[in-house]
Structures are given as structure tokens and as C-alpha cells.
Amino acid sequence: MLTEKNNVSSFGVVLLELVTGKPPILEASENGHIIQWVRERTESGDIESIADPNMKDQYDVNCLCKVLILFLNCYHY
């Protein structure tokens, strides 16, 4: 059953898909789920490594941080 909480959490995952260029379910070598993949990199302080390589450093790191904060707000809604 879909709820408002499901919709908000799903929106957060879509944000991660947009900035990482990765699907929500990853290969086992990348720890299975985009949320866990992003969490591992941000906990180690490696925020820039989550950015989609196709962006080729043509983004503002502050904007990337804002997307992550928005995701966290959606995920912990």
C-alpha cells in the first residue's frame, strides 16, 4: 500500500539516482542499494565521489551537499 511516507522516501531515492547516475538497486559489488552506497561514501567524507562521472566536475559541490540534505530529509520523513 502506498502512503505519503513511501512517496517522500521514493522521491529521495530519485534524487540520488539523478546525482549519482546509478539505479536504485546496484550490483552486489557496490553493496546492493544506492542508499547504502551513498551512505558509505558520505560517512567517509568522500561526498564528491557520489557525483555522476558524466557531470565531469561541472557541478557545484555545495549543490551536491544540498541534494544530500534534501535526500536525508526525505528518507527520515
The whole model's pTM is what?
A: 0.85
Q: How many structural domains compose the chain?
A: 1
Kindly report the number of other CB atoms within 10 A of residue 9's CB atom.
17
Residue 60: φ, ψ to 5° = -95, 125
Selection from 62, 77, 66, 64 nearest residue 10 by Cα: 77
Domain, as residue range, for 39 = 4-75
CA 7/CA 74 separation, integer angstroms: 9
- Percent residues over pLDDT 90 in the chain: 68
- 5-31, pLDDT tens digit by residue? 889 999 999 999 999 999 999 987 777
Residue 77 scores a pLDDT above 70: no
Which pLDDT belongs to residue 32? 86
